[in-house]
Amino acid sequence: MENKMKENSFNLSQKLIDKFTDINDSRRKIVLLCTGSFNPIHKMHIIQFQLAKEYLESEFNYNIVGAIISPSHDKYLKRKLGDEAIPFQERVLMCKKAILEEKLENWMIIDEWEGNQDEFLDFFEIIQIVQNRISKNFPNSKIDVIYVCGMDHFLRYKCYERTGYAVVERIGFSLEDSKFKTDQNRDIYFFKNTKKGFSMSSSKIRELRDKGESFDELTYKSVIERLNEIGWNQ
């Protein structure tokens, strides 16, 4: 299928550009990527990036130069959630607010490319497109993309048949299982969730909202404020 999709920049800060192009650091450069609904973003979305970064840097001495959140297309979300779907630009804004609240803006970015296309693209396609765009924008730097996800996602979409995944443990799955063994040659890495957040999910937030219960612990103050402003939390 021919792509007629528009190129656009990653809108990187100068600090990120410097990290992407640093020739004095000989470590392998990695960009972490996660796609998804982010309807709305919650704390575990950010935590899994931090855990992946800590694991890959401490265990393999990789240089994690950045992390990219790529919110899914409105067409996909409408099919999945119907009237529960938060519009793309609002989800982007909330993701940006979460990053600012965590003071991670010099390491994490929101990529709006996926949501601005004419049609929904599968995450397998997004991984390759992001890799190609990084290679095109930074031709003198060898930077590899690794996709961050949970064990449930990894199995559901048979990601084990591919390469380039950093997988965080989930309830109901064990790192003792032979299916979840790190394979550096294939760039497949499994790591523990060492922080609270196993039960965090966007669907849990929606469930608590529908019950009239607080979900303050699951997401960010700035995100909750924006949800209130658009009338979502009513």
Among 120, 134, 110, which residue's Cα sits nearest to residue 30? 134
> Angle at CA 134, nearest 5°, toward 132 and 138?
120
Spatial distance between the Cα atoms of 149 and 165, rounded to a whole number of angstroms: 7
| The two structure tokens encoding residue 122 | 């599968």
**How much is the pLDDT for 197?**
56
Q: Which CATH superfamily is domain 27-229 in?
A: HUPs (3.40.50.620)
All structural domains of the chain with their residue ranges: 27-229
pLDDT at residue 190 in the model: 96
- Of 187, 191, 173, which Cα lies nearest the Cα of 53? 191
Q: What is the mean pLDDT of each run of 10 residues along the chain (234 residues)?
A: 45 83 92 97 96 97 97 96 96 98 95 95 96 93 96 93 94 78 96 76 94 95 97 86
pLDDT of residue 195: 79
pTM listed for this prediction: 0.93
Confidence at residue 89, expressed as pLDDT on a 0 to 100 scale: 98
